[in-house]
Amino acid sequence: MRQLFLALVLLLPALAWSQAPKQAKKATAGTTAAMKLPTPAEVDVALKRSFGYDPSITWRILQIVPSDAQGISDVYVLLNNKDYVHFYILPGQKAIEGEMMPFGSNPFADDRKKLQAANGPARGPNTPIISMIEFSDLECPYCKAAQPMVEKLATDFPQVRYVFQNFPLPMHPWAMKAAKYADCVANQDRAAFWKYIDSVFENQGGIALATADDKLKELAGEAGLDAQKISTCASSLETDARVNKSIALGKSAGVQGTPTVFINGRKLPGLGGLDYDHLKALVQFEIDHAGK
């Protein structure tokens, strides 16, 4: 079904873009001030017109933002409540599904600069050769499967700084709550943080929204932390702000799903589908091209 959706996206009709090309010409280089973004209602109408014949296809519009390319909009859609679809709306009744690839002699510089703001729990030197930054969701089964590989990379490359950033996804009922608990654990005892997230992943299948507070609090106690303080912290506005700041950082770097790992600024959604040997080779390649 997802393949059908992605194929049909290429035929997506116009999203109220009749004035966009004219306005885009008035914008100065590097700005999107004069750009007219499609509204959620306009996107929804276009999706219904293209896919309304099949009641099994459902969607939720998550975000509509200017793309890095002038005159183009980024639209993020959650398909059937499980798959992210990212497409670009172009002038002239066209849409392209996929990812825009960084290109050039230093293609990952922009994301490296953005990710300097990453301040989650970290392992490795304070002045590393390169950084490896993971955006993760503690309710995400793919994150659970990837975590041992990411941690092994951190162990095998001690000269690399590994930073964990919370990125709870909206379709996971207790992911935001888990992110807040994890944030509070890190603030209370950063050394215990890694043990805590491993225990959440291990117990992932037994946690439900109705019991999440009790279970997450219990796991904090088992990690040797003051469980009541962690619970109180998790319900605070300050914690909510920190988690949302982490989410905003990920979105600014184009994170759509989890896990997404950046190695020297190179984005690897789902670790790029690579096996461990290829990931090791990629990390070494980025070390050899540090800052480039």
pLDDT of 83 reads 79
**Please, what is the end-to-end C-alpha distance for the chain in angstroms?**
39
Where does a domain end: 46, 75, 97? 97
Domain that holds residue 150: 109-288
Instruction: Judge whether 102 lies within some domain.
Output: no
Q: Is the pLDDT of residue 247 over 70?
A: yes
Task: Give the model's pLDDT for residue 34.
Answer: 55
Are 145 and 247 contained in the same domain? Answer: yes
- CATH number of the domain that 207 lies in? 3.40.30.10
Distance between CA 195 and CA 202 in Å, rounded? Answer: 11
Whether residues 270 and 190 fall in one domain:
yes
Give how far Cα 212 sits from Cα of 72, 175, 216, 232, 250, Å.
41, 9, 6, 14, 25
- Is the residue at 19 inside a domain? yes
Indicate if the pLDDT at residue 172 is higher than 90: yes
Do residues 113 and 84 both lie within one domain?
no
Same domain, 195 and 275: yes
Query: Do 167 and 55 have their domain in common?
Result: no
Residue 8: inside a domain, yes or no? Answer: yes
Residues 6 and 83 in one domain: yes
In a domain, 104, yes or no: no
DSSP alpha helix (H) spans, the chain: 2-9, 20-26, 40-51, 109-114, 141-156, 175-188, 190-202, 212-222, 227-234, 237-252, 276-288
Q: Report the mean per-residue pLDDT for the chain.
A: 87
Residue-level pLDDT at 69: 80
Is 10 within the bounds of a domain?
yes
| Together in a domain, 41 and 133 | no
- Mean per-residue pLDDT, 33-40: 76
Q: Are residues 174 and 30 in the same domain?
A: no
pLDDT score recorded for residue 70: 83
180 — pLDDT class (breaks 50, 70, 90): very high
Q: What phi-psi label fits residue 291: left (phi over 0), alpha (psi between -120 and 50 degrees) or beta?
A: left
Last residue of a domain, one of 53, 73, 97: 97
Q: Does residue 54 belong to any structural domain of this protein?
A: yes
Tell me how many degrees the CA angle 52-97-64 measures, rounded to the nearest 5. 80
Q: Are residues 220 and 79 in the same domain?
A: no
pLDDT at site 101: 82
Distance CA(55)–CA(64), nearest Å, equals 24
Are 171 and 249 contained in the same domain? Answer: yes
Reported confidence tier of residue 218, pLDDT bands at 50, 70, 90: very high
For residues 14 and 88, membership in a common domain is answered with yes
Given a cut of 70, whether residue 139 has pLDDT beyond it is yes
Rounded Cα distance between 109 and 177, Å, is: 33
- Domain assignment present for residue 64? The answer is yes
* One domain for residues 254 and 167: yes
CA distances from 143 to 49, 133, 223 (A): 35, 13, 20
Answer with the residue of higher pLDDT: 86 or 173.
173
- Total domains in the chain come to 2
Residue 33, pLDDT > 80, answer no
**Position 187 pLDDT exceeds 60:** yes
Between 78 and 82, name the one with better pLDDT.
Answer: 78
Question: What distance in Å separates the CA atoms of residue 292 and residue 286, rounded to the nearest whole number?
Answer: 8
Which of 52, 71, 97 represents a domain boundary (last residue)? 97
Residue 272 — pLDDT band, cuts 50, 70, 90? confident
| 266 within some domain | yes
Whether the per-residue pLDDT at 47 is higher than 70: the answer is yes
- pLDDT of 16 strictly over 50: no
